[in-house]
Structure 1
């Protein structure tokens, strides 16, 4: 994958052993000067390469240059621009480590450039004092820079692989965190999962169930900490859904979230403390299953339809309740029954205030009195029973 420079390799070159030995003797000081120059010239490493980390880098530089001198002074000197396996492995791991540390390849490549300059300055001084010919100096320089370019290239590959691996690993941790949140894991377990995922917990989370096809377009507009999962997602008549867990969308921040989801067919649960977002998810799930949306594009805020959720949470029970509490009206003709149901509903709504009932129904107050007399004959004292009033309110309020 990382072939050497063919033109350089085609030219036989071998560093005299005495010269190579002289260069080996200065490698510790060359490594020390290289690290000092990197710290001074590459801001990203100003604090990183101090103490033990700096000494590890010095060792890595010394080993890499030692490998180069071994190649150029040995029988295989023609391939000196292609690092040996240990040097390649070290460069690869260096790139992986930089990715995991969150630093870009720009910083590492800058460090390689500084290292190449220091290495050439120090080693060329010895080469010159050893009477290396101009042609030999040129070949030596070409091999040294090609060697360092190869190390830089393999570090780039390591960095790319490190980013991919780190990204996949973090996404796996985020997925596990989202699953734990939806399934109701304990606060301590969730705190550990959040820490492993590198996810900063918010004050609250709001569960949003949204058509899967629209979820990706929404994410860039939301808090970067928003979690997306398909665990527990629903298959509704208009397609599969995803679940978004949106941070800190309570109080004055809820309105902008609802507005931002308008026309996307989303269902929003209430904001809950982040470790208790399962309650938000379950409410959104119930609302989605009841399908309170007049159209597939309508976004439903469950905070604005709590009564509907309560009344429609068990449709069969509600039907049974209506049949039970309205049974006294069963023997009436349909037109008469409809008028008495309408009057009873208004009576409950206006707490028996006859004038307000008459105004709402567009009838005379005496008509209201007459109808209420009929209802009292049918219900008797039950109209004064708080439980019966509650049951009638629920039954007629859903009509």
Structure 2
């Protein structure tokens, strides 16, 4: 293990002090340039420097630049503190579901950019009017102040001579490899520490899939790779009453991953349209109260999760029928009208207000007639048959309803709202049981 930059590149011992002073003068410009390069590389990976790990990486970049600049001037300076920073970054990369190659790529790009920047600086004329750096700007005679001393007072202004740059290059790329090695060690240490905790890995994977903002594809792929879960094109989220996530994932099988979110198990079933897969899942969940979300593209997993979560809640309230395992696709209208607790009741209170002042018996009779008339699209004879009454009676009641509701009975949108309200409140009476 290299403890100093001198261990990486012994030639640093021969550099003149002016070279180290020159690099220290470029410290601020190097910070700006390398951070810009790292930001661009992070964006390509679907990541940002604004989050916790991003800010840590930005600090790591500044630390790496500072250490390198100072170590060129003082090549026996210890590298251990900077290696520790990148060891920690490697651990964090693993915890956040990234691949260690991503951090290595950032380090390689940063080192190349530092090298390009130093070459550009060396190729430019000295800012204070000195001569350009080149073979003639360097003295190798006995009066040159030691091997590698720049000629005259222009050495510091013009930057390192080409032979000095080659030494710096060897130190720079060896230094980047050392930091990448420290990051890889941190990554592997974290992987070893959590290798047996598959529940944690898969819990994180499920959370990524169903979080409000879909994760970047690279982030999701890294998390799936870490959890050893082949990333499917489509998924269905199943919400199950209980907390035995790992047990249920094993029972359902077919690559299902699971965790507990809120008060229920959330199973992510890959490729649910595979013939027999949903039937197998339903059989495995026999005897458990569960709601199967719709099959959706992977990036829409949150929709399947939200529907199954709400369906399970309604199922526990007895709103989705007697079957223990229900499918969201079979109850979309109920999910739509009962999505927000209390909303269906408010809708009924509002649009059925014309019935509110009637006697209970009359209100119930008119509500049943209106509901039947809307369902049968105004076919009086069919409504009469459904209600076991005479068509003339239905016509009489409809005249009463037209007096109460007026033009609304001829408006398609108003009829739709009335049908939804009566579906929630068939008798037309006040009922605040769903106001919670």
The alignment's TM-score, normalised by the length of structure 1, stands at: 0.53
Q: Which residue of 2 aligns with 1:180?
A: 208
Change (3 A) 1:309 1:216: same
Relative to 1, partners in 2 of residues 1:193 and 1:213: Cα closer, same or farther, differing over 3 Å?
closer
Q: Could you say which residue in structure 2 is the equivalent of 1:315? A: 341
- List alignment gaps of at least 5 residues for structure 2: 1-190, 426-436
Q: 1:249 and 1:290 mapped to 2: Cα distance?
A: 23
Stretch deviating more after TM superposition (265-274 or 253-262): 253-262
Deviations 1:297-356 (A, max 9, x none): 922321221111111112322222211211112222111111000000000100001111
Which of 354-363 and 255-264 deviates more?
255-264
Quick check: 1:270–1:303 contact (8 Å CA) kept in 2? yes
Alignment of 1:67-82 (within 5 A): none
Aligned residue number for residue 284 of structure 1: 308
- State the 1:371 CA deviation: 0.7
Distance 1:227 1:216, change over 3 A: closer
> Does the CA contact (< 8 Å) of 2:246 and 2:258 recur in 1?
no
Give the C-alpha shift of residue 210 in structure 1: 1.8
Partner of 1:398 in structure 2? Answer: 424
Please list, as runs of the form range in 1=range in 2, the aligned pairs for 1:108-127 lying within 5 A after superposition. none
Moved more, 270-279 or 358-367: 270-279
309-318 or 296-305, larger mean C-alpha shift: 296-305
Question: Which one has a larger percent helix, Structure 1 or Structure 2?
Answer: 1
- DSSP 3-state at the match of 1:206: strand
The one of 185, 205, 209 aligned to 2:239: 209
- Structure of larger gyration radius: 1
Q: Please list, as runs of the form range in 1=range in 2, the aligned pairs for 1:296-307 lying within 5 A after superposition.
A: 298-307=324-333
**1:342 aligned residue:** 368
Alpha-carbon distance between aligned partners in 2 of 1:353 and 1:177, rounded to the nearest angstrom? 54
Q: Tell me how far apart the structure 2 counterparts of residues 293 and 262 of structure 1 sit (CA, whole Å).
A: 19
- State how far apart, in whole Å, the 2-side matches of 1:306 and 1:335 are: 32
**CA shift at 1:382, angstroms?**
1.7
In the other structure, the counterpart of 2:85 is none
Measured in 1, the distance between the counterparts of 2:329 and 2:286 equals 15
Q: CA deviation at 1:165?
A: 5.4
Change (3 A) 1:170 1:322: closer
Change (3 A) 1:297 1:164: farther
Question: In 2, distance between residues paired with 1:350 and 1:344?
Answer: 10
Cα distance in structure 2, aligned partners of 1:220 and 1:269: 19
Aligned residue for 1:266?
Answer: 290
Change (3 A) 1:269 1:392: same
Distance 2:403 2:380 in 1: 18
Shift of 1:293: 5.5
CA distance in 2, matches of 1:224, 1:250: 12
TM-superposed deviation, 1:296: 10
Give the match for residue 157 of structure 2: none
Task: Check whether the contact 1:265–1:296 (CA below 8 A) recurs between aligned residues.
Answer: no
Give the whole-Å Cα distance in 2 for the aligned partners of 1:250 and 1:323: 41
Unpaired segments ≥5 residues, structure 1: 1-162, 236-240
Compare 289-298 and 250-259 and name the one that shifted more. 289-298
- Distance in 2, Cα, partners of 1:256 & 1:293: 26
Q: Distance in 2 between matches of 1:273 and 1:361?
A: 45
- Residues 1:256 and 1:175: Cα distance change in structure 2 (over 3 Å): closer
Residues 95-174 of structure 1 aligned to structure 2 (within 5 Å): 167-168=195-196, 172-174=200-202
| Alpha-carbon distance between aligned partners in 1 of 2:244 and 2:227, rounded to the nearest angstrom | 25
How many residues in Structure 1 have an aligned counterpart in Structure 2? 232
CA RMSD in angstroms, aligned pairs only? 2.8
Q: How far apart in 2 are the matches of 1:379 and 1:266? A: 41
Q: Judging changes above 3 Å, is the alpha-carbon distance between structure 1 residues 190 and 296 closer, same or farther for their aligned structure 2 residues?
A: farther
